[in-house]
Amino acid sequence: MIDEIRYRSYFDALLTGRRNTCRNIVLKLREEDVPLESIYVDLFQRSLYEIGSMWEQNRISVATEHLATAITEYLMAVLYSTLFIPDPKDRSIVVSCVANEYHQIGGKMVADILEARGWNTYFLGANTPIADMLNLVQEKRPDWVALSLSVYFNMPQLERAIEELRRIGSGFGIVVGGQAFQWCKTAFTERYPDIPICASLYDIDVLEPISKKARTR
């Protein structure tokens, strides 16, 4: 639904830090009733992947990459008001970045998309200490806990978070996601065969089959 010309205009504006141009493109898309999920996947995710790839090829600086991320998060905040769903919800998820993980935008996108799909989401931002995450899980008793990992080096923190979550109970499913899994999908699945991987927003449907029994407190 987002044509190549529009995507390129957005991408060029994002790369050169022209926030208002990006904002106008996004608001125009919403005016045209382009679904939020499409904006997230076909515009935000695609452009950030492309920028990440340019960074990996030493074609842009860290500053440019940070600016693109900051602008995208700002646009998500602008869009958030349009995704408010007043219907009652009973599917819930805690989305959290692990300790030392400072890339929060992927987890936030997952939380926003699920919110738009009628889930009740609790988003914990970057570098969340395990104790804080466990407290929220015990308080909210969600159907799922999603752990986001972008930097592969933080894998030990993720494994610790999984062990701790398993220690406090089994009333929820655990799912992991993020860019780090493009490096270790097979190894992770061998170690944790029961934990699904949501490597990008395209895989978000792994969260849809929830327990048939409505668990409530």
Partner 1 sequence: MMTVESIESILYKEVSRHASLLLWVLDRENRLVYANTFSTDLIGWPLEGKAFQELVVDFENRMDPQQMADDPQKVHLVHIITKDRFPQSFSCTFHRIEAGVMMIGSIPLQEQERLKTEIVTLNQELSNMTRDLQKANAELKHLNDLKNQFLGMAAHDLRKPVGIIMAYSDFLEEELSSVMTEEQAGFLQTIQSSGRFMKRIIDNFLDAALIDSGRFDMEFSSEPARTVLDHALAMVSLAARRKNITIAASSPGESPVLTIDVSKIEQVVMNVLANAVEYSPPGSRILVDTDWDERHFSIRITDEGPGIPPEEIRHLFQAYGKSSARKTAGERSIGLGLAISRKIVDQHQGTISVTSELGKGSIFEIRLPLRQESAGD
Contact flag: residue 63 with partner 1 (CB under 8 A): yes
Rounded to an integer, what distance in angstroms lies between the CA atom of residue 157 and that of residue 152?
10
Contact flag: residue 17 with partner 1 (CB under 8 A): yes
Contact flag: residue 21 with partner 1 (CB under 8 A): no
The contact mask relative to partner 1 for 82-111 (x = CB under 8 A, - = no) is ------xxxx----------x---------
155-168 and 130-140 helices, crossing angle to 10°: 30
176's CB contacts (< 8 A; 6+ apart) are 146, 147, 148, 149, 158, 162, 188, 192, 195, 196, 197, 198
Smallest gap from residue 192 Cβ to partner 1 (A): 25
The answer to whether 201 and 72 have CB atoms below 8 angstroms apart is no
Contact flag: residue 59 with partner 1 (CB under 8 A): yes
CB atoms within 10 A of CB 197: 17
Contact flag: residue 49 with partner 1 (CB under 8 A): no
Contact flag: residue 77 with partner 1 (CB under 8 A): yes
Closer residue to partner 1 in complex, CB, 61/135: 61
Contact flag: residue 186 with partner 1 (CB under 8 A): no
H-run or E-run covering 162: helix 155-168
Size of the site for partner 1 (CB under 8 A): 32
Contact flag: residue 64 with partner 1 (CB under 8 A): yes
Place of tokens 């929220």: 136
Q: Which residues bind partner 1 (CB under 8 A)?
A: 17, 19, 55-64, 66-67, 70-71, 74, 77-78, 88-91, 102, 151, 153, 212-217
